[in-house]
Amino acid sequence: MRVLLINTSERIGGAAIAASRLMESLKNHGIKAKLLVRDKQTDQITVVSLNYNWRMIWKFVWERIVIWKANRFKKENIFAVDIANTGTDITSLPEFRQADVIHLHWINQGMLSLKNIRKILTSGKPVVWTMHDMWPCTGICHYARECKNYQQECHDCPYIYKGGGRKDLSYRTFRKKQKLYSNAPVHFVTCSRWLKEQAQVSRLFEGKSVINIPNAINTNLFKPQNKEEARAKCMLPQNKKMILFGSVKITDKRKGAEYLIEACKLLAEKHPEWKESLGVVVFGNQSQQLQEQIPFHVYPLPYIKNEHEVVNIYNAVDLFVIPSLEENLPNMIMEAMACGVPCVGFNVGGIPEMIDHLHNGYVARYKSSEDFANGIHWILTDPEYDELSAQACRKVLGNYSESIIAKKYTDLYNKVTGKYA
């Protein structure tokens, strides 16, 4: 069977990493899988890129201009929404024509327009669409937050300046999606149970098939290793407890760095002796900005794409923290736990599906820096830390390993192609 996965980027962002890993998982289990992207970052031969030229750049810019205009020329939130008014027709590509199944992932920011998606859906090929956020089931936003309008019909969008209006950009895009999905043979997949619940109450998904299949991870690569050796490779001290925080862009407000900063201040007040014995590793773009804000020694690292280097970082630390305010099924929790590193995260999105509270990590009350600090303290002082670590590993092996996820997707592909009912 030939499957064509489609994502905007090959390696940048959680959806890109998840799609790349799924491609490898499928290939390792007998599926002829390729990944079509706009932005290619490696020389992987089964990753195919669109011909990148000035038109691609213009399509990306034009979509932002339309959003910027609808937002009364304010920059705020112009990357928090997408309208898919521009893109590339991929139906004439040989990779598309040869595929038995078309598998969409995150296709925003000028990769595919709604018209392009319509052409895919009417091509006669079975289509699977893995949702990495809420965009397929809302008008224009990737996370609806407190807004429930998408459950009936988007309008008065909180992401648009002064709440948009009754027939704003969210309303118009929602109506276009309604037409697109009507009688469309598309099979939706969500990475988390939380996202499945959000999708199923959307008016756009009435009568649609929505199932939950998590992301896959290579547990032969992401696994526990010697901590002292890992610290030596990362040039980190051997005599401290180490916390890890990471993101593509550390200053992204959705990633909740302000709550981590506040939690660290609370810990430093309650446990002043930790100022010498605790370090915080921060990796991602602009990581050095946290050096002056956290009362412990901060070890800033750039955003790292090489997975072998990432494995070393996880194995060098004692705890991974994820104070995100919006998440689906974070790859970084999966990676940390696979390496035997317990995690602390807020009770939001798919995080509590991954972290089993007080069993392999700590799920803190949403937006509570105090409870987040409690979680950090509890894990770092738990006399049964080794058992926490072992349980984190077991959770990943039992739920997210390549063989488990490849089997679930293979079953779905067989179903949608009619190989079996």
pLDDT at 245: 97
- In which residue are the tokens 């213009």 written? 58
Q: What average pLDDT score do residues 47-60 get?
A: 91
pLDDT at 420: 60
| Fold observed for domain 2-216+402-416 | Rossmann fold (3.40.50)
Q: What average pLDDT score do residues 34-47 get?
A: 96
Distance from chain centroid for Cα 17: 8
Distance from chain centroid for Cα 396: 16
Q: What average pLDDT score do residues 274-292 get?
A: 92
Question: Can you give the residue ranges of every domain in the chain?
Answer: 2-216+402-416, 227-399
Closest CA to 24 of 402, 338, 397, 331: 402
At residue 253, the 3 state secondary structure works out as: helix
pLDDT at 302: 86
Q: What average pLDDT score do residues 229-256 get?
A: 93
Structure tokens at 292: 């002056």
CATH classification (class only), 227-399: alpha beta
pLDDT at 421: 42
Query: Average pLDDT, whole number, for the chain?
Result: 95
Q: What angle do CA 205, 209, 210 make, to 5 degrees?
A: 80
Same fold for the pair 2-216+402-416 and 227-399: yes
- In which residue are the tokens 């446990």 written? 271
Q: What average pLDDT score do residues 26-38 get?
A: 97
Alpha carbons 7 and 103: distance in angstroms, whole number: 9
Residue 53 scores a pLDDT above 90? no
E strands along 145-286, which residues?
186-190, 210-212, 241-249, 278-285
Contacts with 267 (C-beta within 8 Å, 6 or more apart), sequence order: 274, 278, 373, 376, 377
pLDDT at 125: 96
pLDDT tens figures, 176-190: 999 999 988 899 999
pLDDT at 52: 82
Share of the chain above pLDDT 90, in %: 91
Q: What average pLDDT score do residues 123-131 get?
A: 97
